[in-house]
Amino acid sequence: MSYVRTAPEAILPAPVVARPSLAASLFGDAASSLATVFITLVALAALPHLFAWAVTNGVWVGDGEACRDAGACWAFLRAKTPFILFGIYPEDERWRPMVAVGIFVVLTIWSLPRKHWTRATLFGWIAGIVAALLLMGGKTIGLTEVPTSAWGGLPITILLTVLSLALGFPAAVLLALGRRSPHPALRWLSTGFIELVRGLPLLSMLFVASIMVPLLLPDGVTIDNLFRALVALTFSAAAYLAEVVRGGLQGVPRGQEEAARALGLSWAQAMRLVVLPQAIRNVIPPLTNTVVVIVKNTSLVLVVGLFDLLSAGRVALSDPDWPAPYAETYLMIALIYFTICYAFARYALHLERTLGQVRR
Amino acid sequence: MSAITLSGVHKWYGDYHALRNVDLDIAPGERIVICGPSGSGKSTLIRCINGLESHDQGRIAIGDEEVREDARALQRVRIRVGMVFQSFNLFPHLTIVENCMLAPVRVGEASPAEARERAHALLDRVRIGDQKDKYPGQLSGGQQQRAAIARALCMRPEIMLFDEPTSALDAEMVKEVLDIMTALASDGMTMLCVTHEMGFAREVADRVVFMDAGQIVEIGEPTAFFSAPKHDRARAFLGQLIH
């Protein structure tokens, strides 16, 4: 054997490693074949019933009578969708919540590309939220007044989600920084807030906000129920997001802040321009997780009498003219939540891939 | 006036006495190499000079600007003093040119166009002008350290501090960084380098400062220091090095 090469060795192509095919993963060995056959049989057994319920016996047009003793009552959704989407908002004024939802849809789509992440877009969001609130309320801009207790459905869900995240995220960043602060008072305050809010069930906070707070206020002073629910949701969002952000901050090496400070940047600049952008990039997956939970948590406001999507759906079901098709109604509401959450998750994955490319 | 003055500087980490009564005067344009065994306080010393660590007793001044715990005073000091780290500490989420532009725009009040022009010139000078739009992670260690030097120079400092700038580099990349530092020294920059590169010290330094256990135990011109170290600890230290 010779150890030292006198002539250069040839550069060879890498050996081909076959990736397992779909067929192999379904029927590769006895166990997977068995699992495949079993799952297929279960699906085949269930599908005809589902098909019969949803399609063959499904009622697509008609009224409550037509739905009696039939399959899926899609006709109910046809009749009740406007109510589920907009709640008890006066029917003649429904264009207002529609425009409000439209504002949020347009703003969201506009904000997707990274090059639109500018100060102008931020102001656009603030203006959009204010416009939606004014439009829904109506009084300030000379339309018929609709009190927040009559707002309902999708606009409530969107407003609570957007506002609790928009207010909760900056608060979360401050709480996370506070919890790592060398100043004891700041640290204790932040830690106390986070642990307290995290330790309380959101439901109990909503009850406290909607029932206890009015009792504690002096006579004549009232705070809008919607606003009180928003405060509870924002607190909860801030506490959970703060811990995620703190995790991200721990992943940024100390040298990053030192380098920024050594260049003359102030502490706030070092955080805003150097440390936080890296910290947040590091925690996009858990951040997505928390945000999706927050979106769905807004449905809990039904316990304090607010008409979000879910509670509007329940009210629609109480109509005695119809045979109360729960499954169909909840399927539709579930589909709306799923669409929002799934779209957000895909977008976050896209961000993770494009922003996460740059690694140390 | 001295570029850097340290008089009677003490520093403790908890009960550990990290700097013990350090006095040092550095003239404008002077090149100082600080060496010594690990844990002798070299890094602590230069980190006190730009206030990344605070000293507990004594006085440190950059020209007539005292280094003290005051946000504005510290910022004035840091604008005048550039620093290069062992682990480069480039900002991984910004491109090389953005790394260089950040502080001039945010702190130095340069316009973005002005800062970009300055960054390009300095990146050319450290010979990575063609890498300017890449991210730090796409560069070799030597290129990253040269980018970090350019980033510090973009603030037009009067003084440059180097904290073991070549210790994290592969042998092949050490020279390219040292060449840049040598060029900087010949341009008259006041430099304070913590380094184990004795060849660099011999060639570039005006004075070599040897530290042991938090004290300066010997200061001398490189030829004198390397040929005839006076202090026992310095003799033992130099004996360990492979030349």
Provide the residue-wise pLDDT of chain B in tens; the chain has 243 residues.
899 999 999 999 999 999 999 999 999 999 999 999 999 999 999 999 999 999 999 999 999 999 999 999 999 999 999 999 999 999 999 999 999 999 999 998 899 999 999 999 999 999 999 999 999 999 999 999 999 999 999 999 999 999 999 999 998 899 999 999 999 999 999 999 999 899 999 999 999 999 999 999 999 999 999 998 899 999 999 988 765
Identify the pLDDT of residue B218: 94
Residue among B87, B135, B155 whose CB faces A263 most closely: B155
pLDDT of residue A356 exceeding 80: no
Interchain contact, A360 vs B137, CB within 8 Å:
yes
Interchain contact, B75 vs A256, CB within 8 Å:
no
Interchain contact, A264 vs B103, CB within 8 Å:
yes
Number of domains in chain A: 1
Interchain contact, A260 vs B91, CB within 8 Å:
yes
Q: Is B79 on the interface with A (CB under 8 A)?
A: yes
State the amino acid at position A160 in one-letter form: L
Interchain contact, B78 vs A277, CB within 8 Å:
no
Q: What value does the mean pLDDT take over residues A254-267? A: 96
Domain contains A280: no
Q: What value does the mean pLDDT take over residues A14-29? A: 86
DSSP code for A73: B
Q: Is B219 on the interface with A (CB under 8 A)?
A: no
State the amino acid at position A7 in one-letter form: A
- pTM for this one? 0.88
Q: What value does the mean pLDDT take over residues A100-117? A: 94
Please state at what angle helix B141-153 crosses helix B96-106, rounded to 10 degrees.
20
Identify the pLDDT of residue A70: 81
User: Domain residue spans in chain B?
Assistant: 22-241
Domain contains A159: no
Q: Which residues of A touch B155 (CB under 8 A)?
A: 263-264
Whether residue A148 contacts residue A132, with contact meaning beta carbons closer than 8 Å, is answered with no
Domain contains A301: no
**Residue A346 pLDDT class (50, 70, 90 cuts):** very high
Size of interface A-B (CB pairs under 8 A): 70
Mutation for B interface: A263, A272, A284, A360, most B CBs within 10 A: A263
Interchain contact, A262 vs B79, CB within 8 Å:
no
Q: What value does the mean pLDDT take over residues A77-96? A: 90
Q: Greatest CA separation found in chain B?
A: 54
Q: Which residues of A touch B136 (CB under 8 A)?
A: 358, 360
Could you give the percent of chain A with pLDDT greater than 90? 58
Report the distance separating Cα B57 and Cα B72, nearest Å.
20
Whether residue B96 contacts residue B137, with contact meaning beta carbons closer than 8 Å, is answered with no
Q: Is B168 on the interface with A (CB under 8 A)?
A: no
Across the beta sheet with B207-212, the strand order is: B81-84, B159-163, B190-194, B31-35, B207-212, B215-220
Range of A124's domain?
91-145
Identify the pLDDT of residue A360: 45
Identify the pLDDT of residue B9: 97
State which fold the B22-241 domain adopts.
Answer: Rossmann fold (3.40.50)
Residue from B161, B136, B203, B181 nearest B77 by CA: B161
Interchain contact, B102 vs A263, CB within 8 Å:
yes
Q: How far is CA B83 from the centre of its chain?
A: 5
Q: What value does the mean pLDDT take over residues A316-337? A: 90
Which residue matches tokens 């590309």? Answer: A113
Domain contains A33: no
Residue by residue, DSSP assigns A153-185 as EHHHHHHHHHHHHHHHHHHHHHHHHHHT-SSHH
Whole-Å CA distances, B107 to A18, B66, B92, B103, B156: 55, 20, 20, 5, 12
Identify the pLDDT of residue A359: 54
Higher pLDDT, A44 or A63: A44
- Report the alpha-carbon angle B28-B29-B33, nearest 5: 105
Report the distance separating Cα B9 and Cα B215, nearest Å.
10
Whether residue A73 contacts residue A328, with contact meaning beta carbons closer than 8 Å, is answered with yes
A187: CB partners within 8 A, 6+ apart: A178, A179, A180, A181
Distance from CA of A348 to the nearest CA of B (A): 18
Interchain contact, B90 vs A253, CB within 8 Å:
no
**Residue A252 pLDDT class (50, 70, 90 cuts):** very high
Q: Which two tokens stand for residue A14?
A: 């890498």
Tens of pLDDT, residues A9-20:
899 999 988 888
Domain contains A135: yes
**Residue A161 pLDDT class (50, 70, 90 cuts):** very high
Whether residue A229 contacts residue A301, with contact meaning beta carbons closer than 8 Å, is answered with yes
Residue from B100, B187, B81 nearest B147 by CA: B100
Whether residue A258 contacts residue B52, with contact meaning beta carbons closer than 8 Å, is answered with yes
Interchain contact, A360 vs B136, CB within 8 Å:
yes
pLDDT of residue A194 exceeding 80: yes
Q: Which residue of B has its CA nearest to A258?
A: B52
Domain contains A114: yes
Distance from CA of A39 to the nearest CA of B (A): 46
Whole-Å CA distances, A312 to A81, A133, B210: 10, 19, 78
Domain contains A124: yes
Q: Which helix (H) or strand (E) holds A311?
A: helix A309-317
Please state at what angle helix A284-297 crosses helix A326-355, rounded to 10 degrees.
160
**Residue A160 pLDDT class (50, 70, 90 cuts):** very high
Residue from A108, A133, A111 nearest A120 by CA: A111
Residue from A182, A163, A183 nearest A298 by CA: A163
State the amino acid at position B195 in one-letter form: T
Identify the pLDDT of residue A63: 81
Strand partners, B216: B211
